[in-house]
């Protein structure tokens, strides 16, 4: 089994380099180490993971992108053919995810308390909408969408499974 870590987003230069965009739940330094140690990645071609050996050590470009040079991809024309393809690694690299990294999905089933309103309800879902993630909170017989903004969060109590927040006035009423 393979681990899907991201996709090729563009070419780099004229010698077949490609930029791999890493999914946010992976630690880029661990991915860099794994690719350099294993010496290969798998490209999902029509649902089949096809191995491609790297020809140079990978280079981290920023906190979510890696520069790859792959065997048999020697020029920009060949590199363009694999843009948007998904990249996978061997399952033996499963230490790549940021296990200690916080995810808002971990708060599903937590009770939500607003400092002004008291108990709002219980988180039943997390909607990972780019630039606008939301909690779906069950309040009696209705569902309330609460935008996830770190400025609203006052405290997360894992022991009591409670999320203490301070929402802008009227935000809960918009959902009613």
**Listed residue (40, 101, 31) closest to 64, CA to CA:** 31
- pLDDT tens column, 125-175: 988 887 788 899 998 888 989 888 888 888 888 889 999 999 888 877 765
CATH architecture, domain defined by 104-171 = Roll (2.30)
pLDDT of the residue at 129:
81
Half-sphere exposure of 38 (CA within 13 A, CB side): 18
Strand ranges, E, within 128-167: 134-139, 142-147, 153-157, 162-165
In angstroms, the CA 105 to CA 109 distance is 9
Confidence band (pLDDT; 50, 70, 90) for 100?
A: very low
In angstroms, the CA 5 to CA 88 distance is 6
Copy the structure tokens of residue 110. Answer: 């937590």
For domain 2-96, give the CATH number: 2.40.30.60
pLDDT of the residue at 101:
52
CB 155 within 8 A of CB 165: no
Answer yes or no: is pLDDT of 98 > 60: no
Going from N- to C-terminal start, the domains of the chain cover: 2-96, 104-171
The 10 Å Cβ neighbour count of residue 35 is 22
Half-sphere exposure of 143 (CA within 13 A, CB side): 9
Half-sphere exposure of 149 (CA within 13 A, CB side): 10
In angstroms, the CA 112 to CA 163 distance is 5
pLDDT of the residue at 3:
85
């Amino acid at each position: 089994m393979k681990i899907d870590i991201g996709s090729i987003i563009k070419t780099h230069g004229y010698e077949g380099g490609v930029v791999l965009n890493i999914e946010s739940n992976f630690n880029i330094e661990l991915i860099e180490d794994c690719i350099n140690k294993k010496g290969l990645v798998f490209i999902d071609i029509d649902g089949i993971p096809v191995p491609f050996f790297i020809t140079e050590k990978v280079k981290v470009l920023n906190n979510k992108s890696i520069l790859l040079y792959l065997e048999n991809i020697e020029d920009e024309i060949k590199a363009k053919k694999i843009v948007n393809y998904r990249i996978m690694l061997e399952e033996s690299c499963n230490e790549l995810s940021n296990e200690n990294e916080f995810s808002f999905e971990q708060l599903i089933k937590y009770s939500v308390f607003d400092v002004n309103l008291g108990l709002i309800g219980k988180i039943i879902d997390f909607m990972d909408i780019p630039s606008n993630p939301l909690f779906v909170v069950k309040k009696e017989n209705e569902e309330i969408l609460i935008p996830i903004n770190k400025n609203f969060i006052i405290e997360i109590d894992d022991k009591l499974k409670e999320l203490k927040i301070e929402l802008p006035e009227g935000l809960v009423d918009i959902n009613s």
